[in-house]
Amino acid sequence: MSGAGTARRSWRGTLVPPMVSSMILVSWMLPGTARAQTARPPTVAPAVQMPLPPLTLQDALRQARLNAAQARAAITEADLAAEDRRQARDALLPSISGLGQYIHTQENGTPSGVFVANDGPNVYTSWLTVHGEVFNPGKWAEYRSAAAAEAVARARADVASRGLVATIVQNYYTLVAAIRKAANASQSLQEAQSFLTITQRQEAAGEVAHADVVKAQIQVVQRQREAQEAELTAIKSRLGLSVLVYPDYREDVAVTDDLQEVAPLPPLDTIKTAATGYSPELRAAEASLQQETSGVSVARGAYLPSVSFDYFYGINANQFAIYNPEGNRLLGSSFQAQLTLPLWNWGATQSRLRQAHLRVQQATAELTLTQRQLLASINTFYREAQVARDQADSLRTSRDLAAESLRLTTLRYQAGEVTVLEVVDAQTTLRQARDAYDDGLVRYRVALAALQTLTGTL
């Protein structure tokens, strides 16, 4: 009874009776109704990304050159400089232009028929004009300067490409090392868990104290944290390389581990010769010096005269026709030549010439600095590669010895000859030796890649 009363009260307090509201609810839930058809959101199949094969270093470099924004911007600047050179070249060649003009002047009844000094009330002009520069030293110097600027832009594009190579190499081998360290951390966790099992079994046999089990548990927890951090580092490195290599967002980046393939180190003199001939920084500095030297010629050209000519062919008459009513030919040509002599400009040309000489001095200083920096970089990377190569064998030996030390220490612990602290110390030493070996391999490959980048072989 109370339920029915509640139902009646709820019906009276609403705008829709219970039966009608039930019908509305049913019509809402039925899939065939118009409401259900309009309210159903469209289903969009998620984009499925196919798994990618493992990337080699060359694959990563090729993909990055296609997608890197900074390298593309440098290439665009070089293309713009090439267009500037073409425009400077075209300015030296004769140009052809056309002119069409009509001038109407109000008639005043005078013999001339106009108020102003025009040939008549109607003047028609239709010219084909050829303009050429016979002698203009300034424009020739501008063309040489534009050509040098293009060489500078091309060299800087190569510099940007080389910087991209260095970035990709660093990120690539950072990811390889991160994957290796994640595997090392997982292996260290397994070793800590195995040792925990040993301590528990020893405690159950009454051979060790419970403190050993607690110490082993602490090691397991610490190794778990280290494994998590190593996995996180690998994920960050994978995403960092993915952003540089792929045009879309990818998380499933896999790389080829080639750290064991230790390439030989070429002689230092060979590297110096190749790097000096290839270096884009050196070419950019040399082209900059050439550009500033051309700027001196541009500034000096303002002291010299220039000769130009114009040739006109067309109509300039009161009738738009080839012949006028008297039978005279209106279509004809004319030629004019100009000689421009610079006389006085309050020393502005001399000031520009001094500026050009100062720029040449600065470009010369930058060229010598670039040469010194190139030789210093070659020697630095070569010594780095030498040390890393020589240390690779010793690091591998240390890793193997640390693994053997852990095995023997664990056996001695089971025999009751050593304490738990010695086993933990051996585990830590092995983990550090594994990571140090991987870091040594990465160090050599990065230094070798830097030398290959300087010589243009990578």
CATH topology for 69-92+137-304+348-455 is: Outer membrane efflux proteins (OEP) (1.20.1600)
Cα–Cα distances in angstroms (integers) from residue 116 to residues 107, 119, 208, in the given order? 10, 9, 123
* pLDDT at residue 261, as a whole number: 77
Q: Is the pLDDT of residue 19 over 70?
A: no
Q: Which two tokens stand for residue 353?
A: 């010439």
Q: Which of 402, 142, 99 is nearest to 297 (CA)?
A: 142
SS3 of 172-235? HHHHHHHHHHHHHHHHHHHHHHHHHHHHHHHHHCCCCCHHHHHHHHHHHHHHHHHHHHHHHHHH
DSSP E strands in 242-393: the ranges are: 306-317, 331-340
Q: Determine which of 2-6, 219-223, 413-417, 437-441 has the lowest per-residue pLDDT on average.
A: 2-6
* pLDDT at residue 134, as a whole number: 64
Cα–Cα distances in angstroms (integers) from residue 378 to residues 161, 241, 453, in the given order? 18, 26, 10
Strands 122-135 and 306-317 turn out to be: antiparallel
- 337 - beta bridge partners? 309
Which DSSP string corresponds to 424-442? HHHHHHHHHHHHHHHHHHH
* pLDDT at residue 113, as a whole number: 60
Q: Is the pLDDT of residue 28 over 50?
A: no
Q: What is the pTM (predicted TM-score) of this model?
A: 0.65
Say how many CA atoms lie within 13 Å of 60 toward its Cβ: 27
Q: Which two tokens stand for residue 171?
A: 């990120």
Average pLDDT, the chain: 80
Q: Is the pLDDT of residue 90 over 60?
A: yes
Give the pLDDT mean for 291-297: 85
* pLDDT at residue 190, as a whole number: 94
Q: Determine which of 51-65, 99-113, 151-165, 196-210 has the lowest per-residue pLDDT on average.
A: 99-113
Q: What are the sequence ranges of the domains in the chain?
A: 69-92+137-304+348-455, 96-135+306-341
Residue 73: other Cβ atoms inside 10 A? 12
Q: Are 378 and 272 in contact (CB under 8 A)?
A: yes
* pLDDT at residue 279, as a whole number: 83
- Return d(Cα 292, Cα 298) in angstroms, integer: 10
* pLDDT at residue 30, as a whole number: 38
Q: What is the three-class DSSP state of 273? A: helix
Give the pLDDT mean for 293-314: 84
| C-alpha dihedral sign at 124, 129, 135, 140 | positive
Q: Which two tokens stand for residue 352?
A: 């520009």
Give the pLDDT mean for 264-281: 86
Q: What is the three-class DSSP state of 323? A: strand
Give the pLDDT mean for 356-377: 92
For residue 403, count CB atoms less than 10 angstroms from its CB and return exposed for 0-12, middle for 13-18, buried for 19 or more.
middle
- Return d(Cα 440, Cα 11) in angstroms, integer: 81
| Percent of the chain residues past pLDDT 90, beyond the cut | 28
Q: Which two tokens stand for residue 330?
A: 């209106």
Q: Are 302 and 342 in contact (CB under 8 A)?
A: yes
Give the pLDDT mean for 208-212: 89
- Return d(Cα 180, Cα 28) in angstroms, integer: 58
